[in-house]
Chain A
Amino acid sequence: MRFMFIVTSAHPNAPTPELMEAMHKLANREIKAGRMLDSGGLMPLATGAQVRIVDGQLSVVDGPFVEAKEVIGGYAIFELPGKEEALASAKEFMQLHKDFMPGWEGTCELRAFAGP
């Protein structure tokens, strides 16, 4: 089953070098284990934009977005046997945040891809 992990946080500070290193090692291991297919960190929201449809009207809004509470910081795509493995993997990833970026709070949401 393919899963996307989406990491969101209300305080999207850049990761500490220690966290970066730990995540890099973990990603390296997961790629070599054939589980991680893709991953990426995202630039701050201020540099992005949103294309919206409201009341049938298409509009472009440039960042930053004052109303945004949780901001997506990065994602990863995994191929795993099932949800239990996805949970175990996401926990390990979040534990790194706990260990290497004290005080950070956020969410790793895991979602299975639709389809077979």
Chain B
Amino acid sequence: MTVADTHRAILAVWRIEQPRLITSLARMLRDVPLAEELTQEALLAALEQWPTTGVPEKPGAWLMTTARRRALDHLRRGPMLEAKHKMLAWDMEEQQQAMPDWDAALDDDIGDEMLRLIFTACHPLLSREARAALALRMICGLTTEEIAKAFLLPDATIAQRIVRAKRTLSESGLAYEAPRGAALSERLSSVLEVVYLIFNEGYAAARGQDWLRPQLCDEALRLGRVLTSIAPHEPEAHGLLALMELNASRTAARTDAAGEPILMLDQNRSLWDPFQIRRGMQALGRARELGGAGGFYALQAAIIACHARAQTAGETDWSRIAGLYAELAALVRSPIIELNRAVAVGMAEGPQAGLSIVDRLMHEPALKAYHLLPSVRGDLLHKLGRHEEARAQFEAAAALAGNRREQELLRRRAAEAADAASTVT
């Protein structure tokens, strides 16, 4: 094994163990950022020692013992005479003596602990970006470098984002606890939002060369599964998982061999992952059973489910989709949802009906720089045979698109429209 191999093996163990290490230390220290720091020290110790000693038989137990020792040292070193700390340290030692068998602690309220950790990392005090970075770091066990790579940002930017977020958490003096009952549902939205942000960053790769960054999708899906298993009565957790599973089921069909994007209606549906679709449908079913059919994520999942159910693009139930978008628009006023509704209405009732919705959006400030507005308008105009206007719209869209491959797709459509225009005249 080379040193690099050993490091990869250590990081693999780390990813499995880290959330449990943090939660265990957080319980001792009542301070999540500090707990995270000390677990990082345990990782450094492993990276230092394991290449020579080999990976121990029970690497999780090794990391836990090392991390707990650091935490105890910290408590002893700190303002020593503070009775509270002494008590905690004493408590801890007693706990260790009473519970020497590591395996007995395997199922130690994992759900509750994980929930607390997630709610802390995704606290609404923090910006969405900071929450995403902290969640990837503390719950998924990604290194700063890995997060930076995934978000196409410099390491220093992510490092700083994490440091600031941890400082905010430390200074806020938040209680380390998971909200319960109604407060849980309310706070959950700030967690779901972050998970969805991570998913979309990977799925709709807004910037850069690649259309997809699957690692982020996978991490988001995993977080979604964590949430549905530890907060099983929350319909929107299931709704979000459904939405992500159903979207991710199309991954293999979304690009061609050269990596060029293929639009959903042109995709080879036999490449859609039927197992993932089934899991998505199950999650959507669960959301509905829990009374959450009208939730923000469940409605979006229901829309994607319409596509997943259609054997061919021609069989898509566009009126149902248009109806679901109308429900969604009633829930959240958003010009982007309205734009999507225009697409569905255009398919269900014809391009003119779609175009009249889009035309009402043309002066919407929020869509001023949104490339999909001219892109959708171009598509509807193209269908109406107004090719020259369509060409101008596709070109405007290409100029606004941030993803290189998407720009190329839009330029191709502009060229097609130009061809069609010259054939007509």
Which residues on A are within 8 Å of B, measured CB to CB?
Answer: 1, 22, 25-26, 28-29, 31-35, 37, 79, 81-82, 84-85, 87-89, 92, 95-96, 99, 115-116
8 Å CB contact of A87 from B9, B219, B273 = B9
Q: Which B residues from 1 to 55 make CB contacts under 8 A with A?
A: 8-9, 11-13, 15-16, 19-20
B9 contact set on A, CB distance < 8 A: 84, 87-88
User: Does residue B268 face the partner (Cβ distance < 8 Å to A)?
Assistant: no
Of all chain B residues, the one with the shortest Cβ separation from A98 is: B57
Whether B106 pairs with A31 at a CB distance below 8 angstroms is no
Which residues on B are within 8 Å of A, measured CB to CB?
Answer: 8-9, 11-13, 15-16, 19-20, 57-60, 103, 106-107, 110-111, 114, 214-215, 218-219, 221-226, 229-230, 251-252, 273, 279
Whether B106 pairs with A22 at a CB distance below 8 angstroms is yes
CA of A37 to CA of B241 in the docked complex: distance in angstroms? Answer: 13
8 Å CB contact of B12 from A34, A79, A88 = A88
A116 contact set on B, CB distance < 8 A: 214, 251-252
Of all A-B residue pairs in the complex, the 6 with the closest CB atoms, nearest first, are: A34-B225, A84-B12, A34-B222, A25-B106, A34-B226, A88-B12
CA of A96 to CA of B58 in the docked complex: distance in angstroms? Answer: 10
The smallest C-beta distance from A48 to any residue of chain B, in angstroms, reads 23
A92 contact set on B, CB distance < 8 A: 16, 59-60
Describe A's contact surface by its main secondary structure.
helix
Whether A85 pairs with B106 at a CB distance below 8 angstroms is no
Whether B111 pairs with A32 at a CB distance below 8 angstroms is yes
User: A29-B107, A95-B57 in contact; A82/B12 too (CB < 8 A)?
Assistant: yes
Whether A32 pairs with B218 at a CB distance below 8 angstroms is no
8 Å CB contact of B252 from A25, A29, A88, A115 = A115
Among B13, B19, B223, find the residue whose CB has the most chain A CB atoms closer than 10 A. Answer: B13
User: A87-B9, A88-B13, A89-B16 in contact; A34/B110 too (CB < 8 A)?
Assistant: no
Whether A34 pairs with B106 at a CB distance below 8 angstroms is no
The smallest C-beta distance from B63 to any residue of chain A, in angstroms, reads 12
A99 contact set on B, CB distance < 8 A: 103
Whether B107 pairs with A25 at a CB distance below 8 angstroms is yes
The smallest C-beta distance from B138 to any residue of chain A, in angstroms, reads 13
A22 contact set on B, CB distance < 8 A: 103, 106
User: A31-B229, A79-B218 in contact; A95/B110 too (CB < 8 A)?
Assistant: no
Whether A26 pairs with B106 at a CB distance below 8 angstroms is yes
The smallest C-beta distance from A6 to any residue of chain B, in angstroms, reads 18
The smallest C-beta distance from B43 to any residue of chain A, in angstroms, reads 14
The smallest C-beta distance from A95 to any residue of chain B, in angstroms, reads 6
12 additional contacts (CB under 8 A) given A1-B218, A87-B9, A88-B59: A29-B110, A32-B110, A32-B229, A34-B222, A35-B16, A79-B218, A82-B12, A88-B12, A88-B13, A89-B16, A95-B57, A115-B252
The smallest C-beta distance from B210 to any residue of chain A, in angstroms, reads 13
B19 contact set on A, CB distance < 8 A: 33
Whether B224 pairs with A34 at a CB distance below 8 angstroms is yes
Of all chain A residues, the one with the shortest Cβ separation from B229 is: A32
CA of A79 to CA of B140 in the docked complex: distance in angstroms? Answer: 13
A34 contact set on B, CB distance < 8 A: 221-226, 229
CA of A40 to CA of B273 in the docked complex: distance in angstroms? Answer: 22
Whether A81 pairs with B218 at a CB distance below 8 angstroms is yes
Of all chain A residues, the one with the shortest Cβ separation from B241 is: A34
B111 contact set on A, CB distance < 8 A: 32
Whether A88 pairs with B16 at a CB distance below 8 angstroms is yes
A1 contact set on B, CB distance < 8 A: 218
Please, could you name 7 A-B residue pairs with CB atoms under 8 Å apart, sorted by A? Answer: A22-B103, A29-B110, A33-B222, A34-B221, A88-B12, A89-B16, A92-B59
The smallest C-beta distance from B279 to any residue of chain A, in angstroms, reads 8
